[in-house]
Structure 1
């Protein structure tokens, strides 16, 4: 019973965010997803109004438990067949870009800008995998504070939105110079743009083949969230272990919800659940993610974000430049080898 007020409050914010995202003026201008709008509303409300103590257990529940449930059912957006459809070429580009972007993102954030390890991991995961969803999934693994997560979400929103508009323009004017066709453009976009919705927008702005290829490449990249989080868990456990001491399974903050995510991908791959049911599961899952984002916003102290400063934005800008130019080069080289 103690969770009900806070869960209802976060749910109401999520409903409002969903409604706002469907307004024509929003679609035609910023085209923000409900996730982004929910966190913005949450931050705004949480910082101008003192939330009653009775709301806090439910908001925390939404941020932790509902989030994990939503990530598990995120698996219904993918199938193992998606990996086969994008082919070896797309899979290699995805793998190279995810790994290099994550490692470079952490390095840039830590060494160039002196950011805390936690926010470095969040900015890197959001940029390298799937934007806000990756930030949310990584936060409990690295035990990040909510203002760090909110700042990381802000960075992927800024540069993912930028990419959504810049990629189609660059391709339309420089396709022949780049030596890209619509399929290569789709692989490049799916392997480097932050959010799924942004990839869909940037891909279909060119053509249906480009959009389909970009979406499949992106979903394959999303699937890599699971092994990355598991690897990160083992790395952090080993790093924090007492000098000379071994690392036991108990020391490792294994994100067990990731195994649920993989299981749901498997179930979806078997096509044993009717398509109309899967459609509704995806809708509900998207809404649960929105509720979790609203809770994150409510838990975010704007003064703490100010304390972090502009450094995460600068780090994310360099990461974005690497995704754009590095992704272009990797896509071209891999195509020449395997195409």
Structure 2
């Protein structure tokens, strides 16, 4: 009896010891995570009440709390929010994409939109070289402009070598694309009206040139509900391009990430787990196995993960450090925005001429 009791006691002690590391790790994350979550909630509230991009508000409010980035209680949670949550958010974006969406655009539309992504990243790298800026900034700004704004910047950033410089480039890109995307949301519907674009042309132009999904939806529905639907469809194909682009950069920079990391980097998979989940969710959603309620919940959860993550990135960076980067990145981001808009207009008029 005594032996049996001692075995049960030792089993309980072992179970308790096994759960302690997890509990202690979560306890370390909690202060920083709560800080970033409150900032994300405040940004969402301001956006809902007064309009404007949630991501940009989260960035700016986060920067205002930069003084907490050196607080030893907050650091683990801020780091976790900035680096882990973004992977969860990007993985869950897969529920918003189905292969049928690609078929609805048509072969010519697919080629045009894929060209927008590839050419914008290539143009951004070339312009970065001309401006004597780091190629990493060119990749981030080109990917964010060409694909889906801040979500793309965060996803691509997770495949690059993890260092302070790349964090600064990611934050600068996020602020820039959010700002230019908001300007585009206001101006591009006027371009549609002045040029007399039809529903398909307007949807292709707006969905193919505006950075963030929310701004595409806003700009499209400013024109009409039909243009809003067409623009959203075009934009979702650009979001789908996130998968191959991030996989490409994950392969390209794998050795660089490992060289800049500790022993954990040697155990990194060839394709990051969050991308595998992203691909699986796209396939499952294309088959029609994900209920509408689950898609809605997952999309909302994805957005919250990304907002909290960008808030954490804001907390980690100060305006003083951003100002050290100078005016050239602004020219880079503006150049990318002008390039993709001009490209999509050229595609639209070429389409009109051929038809």
So what's the TM-score if we normalise by structure 1? Answer: 0.88
1:44 corresponds to: 64
1:264 corresponds to: 281
1:330 corresponds to: 347
Distance 1:210 1:133 in 2: 23
Say yes or no: does 1:159 pair with 2:180: yes
SS at the partner of 1:304? helix
Deviation at 1:238? 8.0
Say yes or no: does 1:18 pair with 2:35: no
Q: How does 1:70-219 map to 2 (within 5 A)?
A: 70-109=89-128, 111-143=129-161, 145-175=166-196, 180-219=197-236
The change in CA–CA distance for 1:167 and 1:229 in structure 2 (over 3 A counts) is same
Residues 147 and 302 in structure 1, CA contact (< 8 A), matched pair in contact too = no
Distance 1:12 1:254 in 2: 32
Residues 118 and 143 in structure 1, CA contact (< 8 A), matched pair in contact too = no
The change in CA–CA distance for 1:288 and 1:236 in structure 2 (over 3 A counts) is closer
SS at the partner of 1:123? helix
Deviation at 1:141? 1.2
Distance 1:17 1:51 in 2: 22
The change in CA–CA distance for 1:293 and 1:171 in structure 2 (over 3 A counts) is same
Deviation at 1:237? 5.1
Deviation at 1:333? 2.3
1:292 corresponds to: 309
The change in CA–CA distance for 1:171 and 1:10 in structure 2 (over 3 A counts) is same
RMSD between aligned residues:
2.3
Distance 1:207 1:5 in 2: 45
Residues 117 and 147 in structure 2, CA contact (< 8 A), matched pair in contact too = yes
Residues 129 and 221 in structure 1, CA contact (< 8 A), matched pair in contact too = yes
Distance 2:92 2:246 in 1: 17
Larger Rg: 2
Residues 149 and 211 in structure 2, CA contact (< 8 A), matched pair in contact too = yes
The change in CA–CA distance for 1:45 and 1:322 in structure 2 (over 3 A counts) is same
The change in CA–CA distance for 1:138 and 1:199 in structure 2 (over 3 A counts) is same
- Unaligned segments of structure 1, at least 5 residues: 243-248
CA shift digits 1:96-128 (9 cap, x unpaired) = 11110110011101x221111221211111111
1:245 corresponds to: none
The change in CA–CA distance for 1:262 and 1:126 in structure 2 (over 3 A counts) is same
Deviation at 1:270? 2.3
CA shift digits 1:40-66 (9 cap, x unpaired) = 11111114x564211111111111111
So what's the TM-score if we normalise by structure 2? Answer: 0.84
2:263 corresponds to: none
Deviation at 1:88? 1.6
Residues 36 and 311 in structure 2, CA contact (< 8 A), matched pair in contact too = yes
Residues 89 and 305 in structure 2, CA contact (< 8 A), matched pair in contact too = yes
Residues 82 and 312 in structure 2, CA contact (< 8 A), matched pair in contact too = yes
- Unaligned segments of structure 2, at least 5 residues: 1-26, 260-265
Distance 2:257 2:36 in 1: 34
Paired residues, number = 320
Residues 121 and 138 in structure 2, CA contact (< 8 A), matched pair in contact too = no
